[in-house]
Amino acid sequence: MRLARLLALAAAAGLAPAARADVTPHPLFTNDMVLQRDADVPVWGLAAPGEEVTVTVGGASAKAKAGDDGKWSAKLPAQKAANGLTLTIKGKNAVELKNVAFGDVWVCSGQSNMEWRIDWCWDAEKYKS
């Protein structure tokens, strides 16, 4: 009886669908993001091991293959400044990130020094639009 039960479980496990991992970008990549213009841009995330992943934006695309650990990374070619784009990450499923822009990305930190306004700068008139 034990052997019969074990064989039944083994057969049922063989009929179970294969595990599927949806392609997902790293949480850093979201709607309304800004990516650096005029520079190659890496995009990465997770997928099923061995899954082919294609990243597309503004007519440019890059491909990657997920490793045994499910991690993938693709490098988009440099883009000119643009906005309102859709970045698509496609594997077995597709993820669309809306309102993506290419521009200048600034990483700033600090406290009181972050309050400095352009009009306090020397030659500030040159920077007013």
What is the per-residue pLDDT across 8-36, written as a single tens digit (0 to 9) for each?
544 554 444 445 579 999 999 999 999 99
Distances (CA, A) of 121 to 106, 117, 125: 18, 7, 9
Query: Torsion-angle region of residue 119: left (phi > 0), alpha (psi -120 to 50) or beta?
Result: alpha
pLDDT of residue 38: 97
pTM of the complete model? 0.70
Q: How many CA atoms lie within 13 A of 74 on its CB side?
A: 29
Residue percentage of the chain with pLDDT more than 70: 79
Most confident of 2-16, 35-49, 96-110, 114-128: 35-49
Query: Torsion-angle region of residue 73: left (phi > 0), alpha (psi -120 to 50) or beta?
Result: beta
pLDDT of residue 113: 63
pLDDT of residue 105: 86
In the predicted structure, residue 109 carries a pLDDT above the cut 50: yes
Cβ-Cβ contacts under 8 Å for 86 (sequence gap 6 or more):
57, 96, 97, 98, 100
Asked whether 100 and 33 are in contact (CB, 8 A), the reply is yes
Task: Look at residue 120 and give its three-state secondary structure.
Answer: helix
pLDDT of residue 18: 44
Higher-confidence residue of 112 and 43: namely: 43
